[in-house]
Structure 1
Amino acid sequence: MYFKIIFNNVRKNIKDYSIYFLTLMIAVALFYAFNSLDSQTAFKTATSDATSNLSRQLISVLSVLSKFIAFILAFLIIYANNYLLKRRKKELGIYMLLGMENRSISGIFVGETILIGIFSFISGIAIGCLLSQGVSAIALKMFAIDLSQYRFVFSISSLINTLICFSIIFIVVIIFNVRTVAKVKLIDLLNAGRKNENFAVKSKKALAGILFVGLCMLAIVALLIYKKNGAISNSAIFSISFVLGILGTACIMYSFFGVLFYTLQKNVKWYFKDVNVFLIRQISAKIQTNYLTITIVCLLLAATICIVSTGMGIALSLNSNAADETPYDFIVLKDLENKKADKSETFQQYFSKKKVDLNEYLKEQIEISIYEEKTFTYNNIIADPDKLFKADADLLEETVPIISISDYNKILESQGKDKIDLKESTYLINCKYRGTKELLQSFVESNKAINIAGRKLTPEMGRINEVVYYLSSVGNNDHGTIVVSDKVIANLNKTSIILNGIFKEDSNKQKFDNLLVSFMGDPQSPYQSLTKTLVFEAYYGMFAMAAFVCCYIGIIFLIICVAILSLQQLTETFDNVYRYNLLQKLGVEKKLCYHTILKQIAIYFGAPLMLASIYSIVALPSIISKASVSLGLDIGVNVGYIIVLLLIIYGGYFLVTYFSCRNMINGK
């Protein structure tokens, strides 16, 4: 009999369970998807030691992070469960009135919790299994692992971990339910939802004062961040800014709608139109009552927008820049100014001495020479040094590297680009570094002449070239190189020789990388090397892992925010169902009631989102700028797409909440 009651209750109240079920399902799906990476065989078949290490680190980080996420999700599920209890209090009261014992009532709710948990878990695992394939593919691409190794997998270990985690959460929920039902009184159950919300502060002057204080706090935060370097996390000013930001947000959330309420009262025509009186009082009272929750949601939303936008921006930019930044498989640089350097020794002789046959591994070898003129420094071609990044303060005193047009054309030809004809009296500037690119472009556009080897040279074209002619750490490739004719080069001092290599398709790349590392580890040696594998995995891998984790945390934060807002609005509507019914009995059309609910939910969802958006608009440019400079990537171009994605998730919960509230008013 009890099972029949439990099953019928879940079936009848399936719409009440919609947000709860949706939240559980998404939580299970995400938890499974991100923890199933260790079962993806492509990670285990990675040919590079660096890739294997980074993938293991990612899986380890996600494993630790998932425990923290599970802890947060536990609170969210308990919060959602509390909504369901409140939604069913009257039903509980009827059970008690009919003589059912608290133990039996608890048993019914435990059964319902287990049943809905089973449904949501199965659905979540099914969705998570599909989602995990996409997550795995993205992770493989981020870590530059061959996607041909990708396999569809179902992770038994992740399933068991997810089952254990959510079983523990549901045991806690069941204990919470049993204790709540055991302590509840019949009179409280029957009168549930009939208590009116009142303003905690009724004084108009007090509310205006709190709003003013909140605005002043946020103004101080802005001043500290932009004038006193308050964005530096290890400074005392940052701590002050952080605390003031939280307090200021709380003050604004507490007082804004109260002040708005008093202001709108003065507009008698608008205030008494339709059911605006009811709407304003409900919104103001509820937001004042729940201002701490809304403050937390607002700050979490701001953090989510910044974290996900930065994380996904890095990931997308890394993928789009990967091929452009690494046109060669490895580089060996010979420093001719090193005391140990044998200037007559060729690369072939050096590798033969190390018993390495380059022809066995390489399809193409591109050898170029770098020259300099001692008196020609970056100070000669950077007219506005104040615009340099702080990290480039010493750049002006460095000599500018110079290469011949014949070597430059070798580079262009190897990358499938058209060769360039350069007159003896002209020069080109090549640059791939964000910190100097615009400054050098301005120099070229001004058509200024330079003096190299006693010759006056003018720009060949009105723009700089952006070609990667050697491998380096990404974002720090070429601060600016002068390209001149071969006749000019003849009178300059050669400082180094670069060998760029492109592997054969069937060559053992990992073996060659290991050989390079084995005999080029001495920092005092005139020969230094860097491989594409290291660039991809040491740079792209580390930041890809950070971006991956950022997205995981951000999505969880977003779900927590929208779930809390949805549950609060469902609770609010449930508490006021009889009031909406009373309005309809007084002659208010059902359509107008729907519009009132829509406005209420829109304001409740919109208030924290608007303030969070303002915070993000202020903070994101600074965050993106610093990240772009440190990573050498333009990550801001993808932010718009990411914010649209976040709004789709946010809007989805908004619509589910609205239609659920409408069904409540209709008695469904």
Structure 2
Amino acid sequence: MFCKLALRNVTRSLKDYAVYFLTLTFGVCIFYIFNSLESQWCMQMLSRSAHYIVDSILIFMDVFSVFVSVVLACLILYANTFLMKRRKRELATYFLLGLPTGKVSLLLVLETLLIGLFSLAAGLLLGVLLSHGLALLTMAMFASYPTDESFGFILSWKAIFKTVLYFGVIFLVVMGFTGFSVSRAKLIDLIQGGRKNEEMRERPLWRSVLTFLVGVALLLIAYAMLLIRGIIRIDPLFFLMLALGTLGTLLFFRSLSGFLLRLVKGRKRLYYKDLNMFVLRQFNSRIHTTYVSMTVICLLLLLAIGVTACCVGLNNTIGAMTDSSAPYDFTIQNYSGDVSPTDIPALLAENGFDTETELKDAWFCNFYYNDPDLSVPGQGSSGTVLSLTDYNALMALQGKDGLTEAELPQLRTEALVTGFSSVGAYLVVDDATAATLSVRWQIFVGNYAGAPQAAEASLTAALDSPGFYDTGFYNTTTRLQIYLENMGTKILVLFMGLYLGLVFLVTAAAVLALQQLSQAADNQPRYAILARLGAPESMRSKALFTQVFLSFFLPLALAVVHSVVGMTAANAVISVVGRVDSVQSSLVTAALLLVIYGAYFLATYFGARTVVRGNG
């Protein structure tokens, strides 16, 4: 009987459970997606050549999952507390009908279990579908990686088990908390469950304006400190900057309690239009206690937008580093070329790597010790010299233009930087001058003729041949190796950023939605009075929409301003190697805001409309 009653209560109270159900579903979905990475195509690919990167990503994911589960647990407990407040009169009715406390607790525990099972099933289903989309995204990230492999439908039983385990524990805590709350509830408190109205006190205009100006000034100071000092210097001034930004945000929302109302009051046509006067006074009365929560929500949105935008925008920068750090398919350097010169191509051929058939183009050359008369700026006589012929050949392998001998004189005072590992600055001189210098080290570079994976496997086998490294002190880097390392970094940055960004976004939107639904329940008598006074349904719905919109839009608007300044500072940090792709990051962030924040906004509006109509 209790199961049937619990099921009926859940289905009948969907308007109350909508935000709760949405929060649980999003939480389960996000948790599953980012814990199913081990089964993703990209991780399988990385594990073959860079398993240590995969291990690092999975370790970070486990650590972040614990943090995320704690955040979601607190959020779910907060949402459950809201539902308990909304149902105080219903619980009082059960007690008045003679239902024992234990039975009422059992009923609520069953309801929590049912909504938990429904949201778990829906979240896992959505997570499985979206994880397939994440796999397509990672395949697009590996678009330049030469492979003929494909992937099928992704279903991670390990991630399902982990999700069920974590959320099972969360639901048990929620059910225990629910049962404990009911057992300690008093009938008189449940009957008088409605909260007292806040006393509305209009603040003097000068005080509101002063608070607003001080808040804006503090924000401008914090912005200036961030843009001038940068974002990576962690010192006392950094924490001062954060404190000023937080206090400025707090004062900005605090000033709205009088500033916005007085501002609109000055425009009589706008103030007396429809129910604007009612909406503004309701917003003004609530801002006395909600400006702190609006500050927290704004900062959560800032973290969500900033983390998401930066992690998405940085991906192109990280990917571009592959070409600069690996201009050839492979680079072999013999650092002992001055004492143990070696014919590297011949040595590779002796160990089974045929350079004639495996490579479409290659070049073997020497770097020389510098002459004091040919000093490289900043290096003196310890610099490195390369001949003009070798330089032009190396540039040709990169598809770049070489130099003429007439251009060399100016190079005596300018250092050129190459993409070779550990080469750094060097000087280009004519062949005759280079012939008079001593060999410093040797280098052999090349590009594969056939499939890169097969050619690299053959090259690795030759390098691993017994005695190869006894002939010199070698360092080998390959494009595929660096590519996979960079892709591992991309995946780590992207997934960690999206993981945290989505959690912050869901948390901010859920808290804001629950607050608005709670306020709608308190405002139900006021909307009933408006109906009796003759205000049509369309006007009342428009007033409610405006009220919910202001609560959602104001924190978001200021968070966007904060994010723009933060992104500008972040762009300045990475300008040495590239720039954040602002277009792509903005589109992805806007899409997430539209889907998640927009879903909560709509669910909140329709839920609040149902409540104020008197059907709650």
Per-residue Cα deviation, 1:482-519 (whole angstroms, up to 9, x for no partner) = 8xxxxx94444277654223163273634633754789
Letter in 1 for 2:221: I
Taking a change above 3 Å as real, the CA distance of residues 491 and 4 of structure 1, as seen in their structure-2 partners, is same
Equivalent runs, 1:200-239 vs 2, <5 Å: 202-227=203-228, 229=229, 231-239=231-239
Determine if the alignment matches structure 1 residue 571 to structure 2 residue 571: no
Task: Tell me whether 106-115 or 253-262 shows the greater mean CA deviation.
Answer: 253-262
Equivalent runs, 1:595-614 vs 2, <5 Å: 595-614=542-561
Aligned to 1:11: 11
Aligned to 1:94: 93
Equivalent runs, 1:291-310 vs 2, <5 Å: 291-310=291-310
Q: Which of 618, 624, 631 is equivalent to 2:565?
A: 618
Equivalent runs, 1:73-92 vs 2, <5 Å: 73-92=72-91
Q: Which of 484, 490, 502 is equivalent to 2:448?
A: 502
| Structure 1: distance between partners of 2:153 and 2:71 | 30
Q: Which of 430, 434, 448 is equivalent to 1:493?
A: 434
Higher fraction of helix? 2
Taking a change above 3 Å as real, the CA distance of residues 148 and 330 of structure 1, as seen in their structure-2 partners, is same
- 8 Å CA contact 1:326, 1:532 repeated in 2: yes
Aligned to 1:451: 409
Aligned to 2:290: 290
Q: Which of 343, 356, 363 is equivalent to 1:367?
A: 363
Aligned to 1:110: 109
- 8 Å CA contact 2:102, 2:183 repeated in 1: yes
Shift of 1:311: 0.8
Aligned to 2:180: 179
Equivalent runs, 1:371-450 vs 2, <5 Å: 403-404=388-389, 407=393, 410-411=396-397
Matched pairs, number: 599
Determine if the alignment matches structure 1 residue 639 to structure 2 residue 585: yes
- 8 Å CA contact 2:411, 2:427 repeated in 1: no
SS in structure 1 opposite 2:558?
helix
Letter in 2 for 1:123: A
| Structure 1: distance between partners of 2:257 and 2:148 | 53
Aligned to 1:160: 161
| Structure 1: distance between partners of 2:427 and 2:312 | 32
Letter in 1 for 2:90: E
Aligned to 2:278: 278
| Structure 2: distance between partners of 1:402 and 1:602 | 68
Q: Which of 353, 363, 380 is equivalent to 1:357?
A: 353
Taking a change above 3 Å as real, the CA distance of residues 318 and 406 of structure 1, as seen in their structure-2 partners, is closer
Letter in 2 for 1:293: S
- 8 Å CA contact 1:624, 1:635 repeated in 2: no
- 5+ residue gaps in structure 1? 380-392, 428-449, 455-467, 483-487
Taking a change above 3 Å as real, the CA distance of residues 47 and 117 of structure 1, as seen in their structure-2 partners, is closer
| Structure 1: distance between partners of 2:38 and 2:88 | 44
| Structure 1: distance between partners of 2:609 and 2:186 | 30
Taking a change above 3 Å as real, the CA distance of residues 275 and 452 of structure 1, as seen in their structure-2 partners, is closer
Taking a change above 3 Å as real, the CA distance of residues 12 and 453 of structure 1, as seen in their structure-2 partners, is closer
| Structure 2: distance between partners of 1:112 and 1:44 | 41
| Structure 2: distance between partners of 1:60 and 1:28 | 20
| Structure 2: distance between partners of 1:269 and 1:637 | 40
Shift of 1:200: 7.7
TM-score (norm 2): 0.84
Aligned to 1:463: none
Task: Tell me whether 166-175 or 510-519 shows the greater mean CA deviation.
Answer: 510-519
Taking a change above 3 Å as real, the CA distance of residues 128 and 501 of structure 1, as seen in their structure-2 partners, is same
Task: Tell me whether 203-212 or 528-537 shows the greater mean CA deviation.
Answer: 203-212
Letter in 2 for 1:67: V
Q: Percent identity?
A: 29
Equivalent runs, 1:519-668 vs 2, <5 Å: 527-629=474-576, 631-632=577-578, 634-649=580-595, 650-667=597-614
Aligned to 2:60: 61
Shift of 1:164: 1.5
Per-residue Cα deviation, 1:561-611 (whole angstroms, up to 9, x for no partner) = 111112211222122123212211111111111111121111111111111
Taking a change above 3 Å as real, the CA distance of residues 303 and 376 of structure 1, as seen in their structure-2 partners, is farther
TM-score (norm 1): 0.78
- 8 Å CA contact 1:105, 1:181 repeated in 2: yes
Taking a change above 3 Å as real, the CA distance of residues 498 and 145 of structure 1, as seen in their structure-2 partners, is closer
Equivalent runs, 1:36-75 vs 2, <5 Å: 36-40=36-40, 43=43, 48-49=48-49, 51-75=50-74
| Structure 2: distance between partners of 1:481 and 1:17 | 71
Letter in 2 for 1:288: H
SS in structure 1 opposite 2:149?
helix
SS in structure 1 opposite 2:445?
strand
Letter in 2 for 1:95: Y
| Structure 2: distance between partners of 1:199 and 1:514 | 80
Taking a change above 3 Å as real, the CA distance of residues 186 and 531 of structure 1, as seen in their structure-2 partners, is same
